[in-house]
Amino acid sequence: MRGKTSTYFKILLILERASYTQIIMRRRILLINPWIHDFAAYDLWAKPAGLLYLASTLKKNGYDVKLIDCLDPFHPGMERETRTRAPKRLPSGRGGFFKESIPKPETLKDFPRKYGRYGITPRMFENELLLAKKPDAVFVTSMMTYWYPGVFETIDILRRVIPKVPIVLGGNYATLCGDHAARHSGADIVVKGEGEKALAEVLKDLFNDELQFLPDKDDLDSYPFPAFELLSRMDHVPIMTSRGCPFNCSYCASHRLNDGFRTRDPIRVVDEIEFWNRKFGVRNFPFYDDALLVDRERHVIPMLEEILRRGLDCVFHCPNGLHLREIDAFLSRLMFRAGFKTIRFGFETANTRRQTDTGGKITSEETKAAVAHLLEAGYNGNDIGMYILCGLPNQSASEVRDSIDFIRSCGARPVIAEFSPIPGTPIWEEAVQVSPYDIEKEPLYHNNTLLPCRGKDFTYEMYRELINMARRPTH
Ligand code: B12
Ligand code: SF4
């Protein structure tokens, strides 16, 4: 009798589990990568990696997940819709977005540049929404703090076309400007920080669902690969070998966005690269890490050696600045041989005082030595891009000019990175004090094109001159 009872309960349990899985199986989550509204935008290997990380965890839990990518440069209906040519793309996976001119927001009306919506048209977005089965919830991501108008436009349309469907907003804008997002975005739930840990709570709140799988925040190897297969085309696939950064530079938001510095097993990273390469034919891989080269002996060196050992025919790009201090003759040669093509480094300034004050991640002497190693390894000077911050609080045009001259004297290429002030960073209070704009109240003023923290003596004409100076090729 006891045996029979327990079999009965086991069957009940199995049935219960089956119906639970079916409920979750039926639940549809629609993911949205919203438009960019800005003066300029260029697709420098930009994909919604964070959102697609969440997608893979959702899929693993049995949810039916779809993506609408408002930035999709390959959308098949767009040429007909706009009667314009598709944006020019390079084989390496970067290129333009579709663009439509739109009026500037009231707060930016005096700034003498045209403004645009980058991505598919709103009509196309509505069509996509109508074609998709009605979701049970929508997850919207966000990137730059000053791109929030694109997020709001997306949410407005969602509200009109699929009213009453709960909207969850996350990503960098939601994290860095949480109060602004909660007050103005129109989303039902605003999530700050890394999304994986919030997923369980959000899905419990929305549907009383219990997730059966959640990656362990302290073990990046427990995260499933991001669901890049949801994109319309994989012209490249971003790779993250780590999250966060052990440094704390005064102008950078890394600490506010990540739960500390954690790295993946380098061999598993190569497994991921090989997976996208063999299964989907992807050859171009940008790294999104904040600190790819840090802890090099245990991390990047074994990774590069494994790439070479497996003979992967891939090309790697580092649009986010790498750490110069880690570069020596050995690592330069390894990077060159493994296929690191686009290399950018965070140099920031030649002003020694500012180098120390902002975090001390590099000195000019170390930079000179690193460039010599890279040239020796086979890189051309024009391939070695050095980011120089422009428009920091109390920074003069001559400091930027000296930095450009210094980088050129090393034989590398200066790349101007216009400063965008970010709430909660160590430099924020100084930025608020010096900026003529109300950057505390209005995130649109964080836009780097405005150079919102440059002093009165640093004119826009001077800035144009610096840009031209930096663009000249390095011999
Ligand atoms: C890779 C990167 C780029 C790439 C593009 C990436 C892209 N997808 O578009 C490139 C190199 C092109 C780039 C360029 C720039 N960038 Co950038 N970039 C980054 C970087 C390093 C990583 C972003 C990323 O994809 N992370 C990976 C994923 C896993 O994280 P995530 O998207 O945040 O997603 C997680 C959470 O946010 C959350 N989440 C995300 N979406 C959702 C949705 C929901 C519903 C939920 C619940 C959760 C959730 O869960 C995810 C997983 O944990 C960040 C710094 C950082 N560490 O975030 C800077 C950062 C975003 N960039 C910044 C800046 C300043 C710039 C530039 C202006 C630099 C310059 N001066 O030229 C340019 C501007 C670009 C332009 N105008 O076109 C600033 C932001 C400034 C701002 N005011 O917002 C950052 C924060 C760096 C910094 N300085 O601190 N960038
Ligand atoms: S600027 Fe670079 S080194 Fe400095 S904290 Fe940010 S990611 Fe780290």
Q: What is the mean pLDDT of residues 188-210?
A: 96
Q: What is the mean pLDDT of residues 218-229?
A: 98
The answer on 261 and 301 residing in a single domain is: yes
Ligand sitting nearest the alpha carbon of 144: 1
**Structural domain contains residue 269:** yes
Higher per-residue confidence, 2 vs 391? 391
The answer on 246 and 202 residing in a single domain is: no
* pLDDT higher than 50, residue 388: yes
The answer on 393 and 286 residing in a single domain is: yes
Kind plus residue range of the DSSP H or E element containing 278: helix 266-280
pLDDT score recorded for residue 19? 45
Q: What is the mean pLDDT of residues 61-74?
A: 97
Give the strands of the sheet with 99-101, arranged side by side: 36-38, 116-118, 99-101
Q: Is residue 140 within 8 Å of residue 159, measured between CB atoms?
A: no
**Structural domain contains residue 1:** no
pLDDT score recorded for residue 16? 45
- pLDDT tens readout for residues 138-175: 999 999 999 999 999 999 999 999 999 999 999 999 99
Alpha-carbon Rg of the chain, whole angstroms?
A: 24
The answer on 252 and 193 residing in a single domain is: no
Structure tokens at 436: 């003529």
Read off the DSSP letter of residue 326. Answer: G
**Structural domain contains residue 443:** yes
Q: What is the distance in A from the centroid of ligand 1 to the CA of 171?
A: 8
**Structural domain contains residue 403:** yes
Ligand sitting nearest the alpha carbon of 248: 2
The amino acid occupying position 457 is: D
- pLDDT tens readout for residues 453-468: 999 999 999 999 999 9
Task: Among 241, 243, 249, say which to mutate for ligand 2: greatest number of ligand atoms within 8 Å of CB.
Answer: 249
Please count the structural domains in the chain.
Answer: 2
The answer on 276 and 200 residing in a single domain is: no
Confidence of residue 13 (pLDDT cuts 50, 70, 90): very low
pLDDT score recorded for residue 472? 87
Task: Among 201, 272, 288, say which to mutate for ligand 1: greatest number of ligand atoms within 8 Å of CB.
Answer: 288
- pLDDT tens readout for residues 275-319: 999 999 999 999 999 999 999 999 999 999 999 999 999 999 999
**Which residue, by CA, sits nearest to atom 85 of ligand 1?**
253
Q: 107-145 b/e with 16+ CB inside 10 Å = b?
A: ebeeeeeebbbbbbbbebbeebbeeeeebbbbbbbbbbb
Q: What is the mean pLDDT of residues 247-255?
A: 96
* Alpha helices for 288-427 (secondary structure H): 300-310, 329-338, 352-357, 364-377, 397-410
**Structural domain contains residue 174:** yes
Ramachandran assignment for 80, one of left (phi > 0), alpha (psi -120 to 50 degrees), beta (any other): alpha
Q: What is the mean pLDDT of residues 409-434?
A: 98
Q: What is the distance in A from the centroid of ligand 2 to the CA of 290?
A: 6
Confidence of residue 89 (pLDDT cuts 50, 70, 90): very high
Tally of CB atoms within 10 A around 12: 10
Q: What is the distance in A from the centroid of ligand 1 to the CA of 49?
A: 9
CATH of the domain at 294: 3.20.20.70
Pocket of ligand 1 (CB under 6 A): 41-42, 44, 46-47, 49-51, 53-54, 139-141, 143-146, 168-172, 175, 191, 194-196, 198, 240, 252-254, 257-258, 288, 290, 319-320, 417-418, 420, 422, 446, 448
Pocket of ligand 2 (CB under 6 A): 245, 247-249, 252, 254, 290-291, 346, 359, 361
Least confident segment among 77-86, 428-437, 462-471: 77-86
pLDDT score recorded for residue 25? 54
Task: Among 242, 247, 355, 427, say which to mutate for ligand 2: greatest number of ligand atoms within 8 Å of CB.
Answer: 247
CA-to-CA dists, residue 311 to 157, 274, 305, 317, angstroms: 47, 10, 10, 18
**197: closest CA among 215, 172, 185, 224?**
215
- Quote the mean pLDDT of the chain: 94
Structure tokens at 67: 């993506």
**Structural domain contains residue 329:** yes
Residue where a domain terminates, one of 192, 207, 222: 207
Ligand sitting nearest the alpha carbon of 389: 1
Give the strands of the sheet with 384-390, arranged side by side: 284-286, 315-322, 340-348, 384-390, 413-418
The answer on 248 and 345 residing in a single domain is: yes
Q: Look at strands 262-263 and 242-243 and give their pairing.
A: antiparallel
The answer on 118 and 81 residing in a single domain is: yes
Q: Is residue 269 within 8 Å of residue 441, measured between CB atoms?
A: no
Q: What is the distance in A from the centroid of ligand 2 to the CA of 353?
A: 18
Domain enclosing residue 346, as ranges: 236-471
Kind plus residue range of the DSSP H or E element containing 12: helix 2-26
The answer on 395 and 302 residing in a single domain is: yes
Q: Is residue 111 within 8 Å of residue 104, measured between CB atoms?
A: yes
pLDDT score recorded for residue 446? 98
**Structural domain contains residue 167:** yes
The answer on 285 and 387 residing in a single domain is: yes
Structure tokens at 281: 């034919």
Q: Is residue 342 within 8 Å of residue 91, measured between CB atoms?
A: no
* pLDDT higher than 70, residue 421: yes
Structure tokens at 38: 């800005």
Q: pLDDT over 70 for what percent of the chain?
A: 95
The answer on 250 and 191 residing in a single domain is: no
The answer on 444 and 333 residing in a single domain is: yes
* pLDDT higher than 90, residue 422: yes
* pLDDT higher than 50, residue 3: no
The answer on 437 and 336 residing in a single domain is: yes
**Structural domain contains residue 429:** yes
Q: What is the mean pLDDT of residues 334-338?
A: 98
Q: What is the distance in A from the centroid of ligand 2 to the CA of 247?
A: 6
**Chain center to CA of 446:** 17
CATH of the domain at 170: 3.40.50.280
**Which residues are registered as beta bridge partners of 37?**
117
Angstrom distance (rounded) from CA 132 to CA 48: 20
pLDDT score recorded for residue 2? 40
* pLDDT higher than 80, residue 14: no
**Which residue, by CA, sits nearest to atom 53 of ligand 1?**
194
Count the residues in the chain. 475
Residue where a domain terminates, one of 187, 207, 227: 207
Query: What torsion do the CA atoms of 142, 73, 317, 360 make, to the nearest 10 degrees?
Result: -30
